[in-house]
Amino acid sequence: MIRNGCKILITLVTMLCCTPASKACSLALHDWRLYLHLKIPVSAPLLPLAELDAVFDKIPRNSIEKVIWVADHNQLSSFSLLFMHFLPNWEAHLPWHATARNASIIELARENRAVTKAPLIIGTDQNQLQIALFVDRNSDNRCFQLVFMQTSRIRAVHPDSIKPWAQESRGQSWLSLTFYQLPLPGRILAMAIFPIYQSRIALIDNHSFVEHLLADGLLATRPEQVFDPYSFDFPDLPE
Amino acid sequence: MRKLVTLLLMSLFCCQVSAQVYRNFNLDEFIARHPIAQSYDVITHCFNGSDKLKMQIASLTAKITELNDKLAELNLIQSKEARNVLDTTDTPDESAFWQKNLVHSKEANELKITMFALIEQKKQIEQLLTRDTVILPDISDLATDIRTALTDNDAIYLNYLPAPVPTNLSEKWLSSPLQIFLWSPQEKYLEEYLDNTYAVSLIFPESRRPVVYQKSVKGENDQ
């Protein structure tokens, strides 16, 4: 009995060792090289994704009725607030009051301390927009990735009378577009945005186009063991 | 002088030759006697009484709870400090407050990253529980014990394994590298055998003396 068991065991181990690694079903293996990198200081974020991420899971739902967003706002700020309704976070659906940076966040919070449902105050400064273009060496520089990354310092305060909360963090949000030769519809491999609920969300994943390019040998196949669902789509940008 | 050089060269070569040690190891018997192998149930295809994965899940759950408690503790500290700065009647030192707050935020962030990694690890193990691969951690333990039993790193171990089903292929392979090696144990024959070992796994159906050559994994020595 034991001998039979052992034989099965050895056969199983041998089979596991000899089985070739199966190929990943979809996306390719890229070797990204930074081709272009621009850093542009901006007065306010284009979209407060990082701000929403900073307060995610921090404030009890329905405990606030409005958000005061303090920054050196420009015309784009009011435009970006229009997109808030498309975001899934419940905080994004509250009224956001864009306020100029006339006083400190703490001062503003103290002024709103006595209010019944104290508003959430989010301050954003030291904003920077980075634009990066990567080329994929594995595709003989025919595949590209365009990245728009926003970084900022975020100071958030909820001056609740029972359980106040405050936190400073470095905010980061990005939009990435991967395309073959030209950023035209039909040539886009993937489009992703970060962060939504603290995760990267794929808006476009054109698997059939990628598999078509893989079959033609225009992209390198990604082995399964290389896949890391938690890794970013592109290498770190220079400081 | 020439004699001295010749003697030195000879002694150098002799040392290399003498370092080649051959040992016997009965892998079949080792596996048969091992408690993990003995607990193998051929009907259920599982190791009886194996609670390795359940233990791992329990350990991960405990670590996650611990991290969660630490996060709640940090949250409480931040809340207390926020209350102090909001309640003070004097002009608060905002710069110092935010500096301290940032340190706590970074600490909380690192704890969260660790916690999410543990949660993911736990999910993966929980998925293993419902699949045939549930036996893999036990097999991994068994393989580790086998490697530990091969104590001499420089030796070539000759092992006994159960012979596969007899076929009529063996006669074609009388001059195979393994056969030659068994007659004349030189490393090059063994390497040739091992280089082709996956492809030729069925060409020694009658052989009861396959080999395990305990050679360092590539790159292991570089570390």
Give the 3-state secondary structure of residue B123. Answer: helix
Minimal CA–CA distance to A237: which of A101, A146, A162, A112?
Answer: A146
Which residues are CB-neighbours of A215 under 8 A, at least 6 positions away? none
Cα B68–B72–B76 angle (5° rounding)?
170
Report yes or no on A224 lying in a domain. no
The most distant pair of C-alpha atoms in chain B lies apart, rounded to whole Å, by 97
Q: What is the DSSP code (8-state) at residue A236? A: P
The answer to whether A147 and A38 have CB atoms below 8 angstroms apart is no
Most confident of A60-74, A120-134, B10-24, B197-211: A120-134
Q: What is the CA radius of gyration of chain B?
A: 30
Does residue B111 sit at the A interface (CB-CB below 8 Å)? Answer: no
- Cα separation, A201 vs A197, in Å, equals 9
What is this model's ipTM? 0.71
pTM over 0.80: no
CB contact under 8 A, B83 and A14: no
Per-residue pLDDT of chain B (223 residues; tens, 9 = 90+): 555 455 444 444 443 443 456 777 777 788 888 988 888 877 767 787 777 778 888 999 999 999 999 999 998 999 999 999 998 878 778 889 999 999 999 999 899 999 999 998 888 888 777 666 677 788 888 888 888 888 877 777 776 554 444 444 444 444 555 666 666 666 676 666 666 554 444 434 444 444 555 444 444 444 3
In a domain, A17, yes or no: no
Q: Which amino acid is at B17?
A: V
- Which residues of chain B does A157 touch, with a Cβ-Cβ cutoff of 8 Å? 82, 86
Q: What are the residues facing A122 on neighbouring strands? A: A69, A156
Domain count, chain A: 1
Closest CA to A27 of A182, A179, A136, A189: A189
User: Which residues are CB-contacts of A222 (< 8 A; sequence separation ≥ 6)?
Assistant: A24, A27, A28, A29
The 10 Å Cβ neighbour count of residue A73 is 19
Q: ∠ CA(A32), CA(A36), CA(A41), 5° rounding?
A: 120
Residue-level pLDDT at B5: 53
Q: Which of A158, A153, A112, A144 is nearest to A219 (CA)?
A: A144
Residue identified by tokens 């794929």 is A202
**A29 in any annotated domain:** yes
- The kind and range of the H/E element at B65 are helix B52-87
Domain for residue A61, yes or no? Answer: yes
Contact A106 B85 (CB under 8 A): yes
Assigned domain for A227 exists? no
Contacts of B101 in chain A (CB under 8 A): 166-168
Q: Is A191 domain-assigned?
A: yes
Measure the CA–CA gap between A89 and A122, rounded to whole angstroms.
15
Residue A226 maps to a domain:
no
Instruction: Please indicate if any CB of chain A lies within 8 Å of the CB of B109.
Output: yes
What is the phi/psi pair of residue A174, to 5°?
Answer: -150, 160
Q: How does residue A206 score in pLDDT terms, banded at 50, 70 and 90?
A: confident
- Judged by CB atoms closer than 8 Å, whether chains meet at A168 and B37 is answered as no
Q: Residue B58, Cα to own-chain centre: how many angstroms?
A: 22
The residue of chain B with its CA nearest to that of A160 is B83
Q: How far from B142 is each of A4, A53, B47, B135, B208, CA to CA, in Å?
A: 17, 46, 12, 11, 22
For residue A113, the chain B residues in CB contact (below 8 A) are 86
What is d(CA A33, CA A138) in angstroms, rounded to the nearest whole number?
Answer: 10
Would A228 be classed as within a structural domain? no
Assess contact for A227 and A24: CB atoms under 8 A.
yes
Q: Both tokens of residue B152?
A: 């001499």
Dist CA B35 CA B29 (whole Å): 12
Domain that holds residue A49: 25-215
DSSP H helices, chain A, are 2-18, 49-55, 75-81, 105-111, 207-215
Residues B158, B27: contact at Cβ < 8 Å? no
Contacts of B137 in chain A (CB under 8 A): none
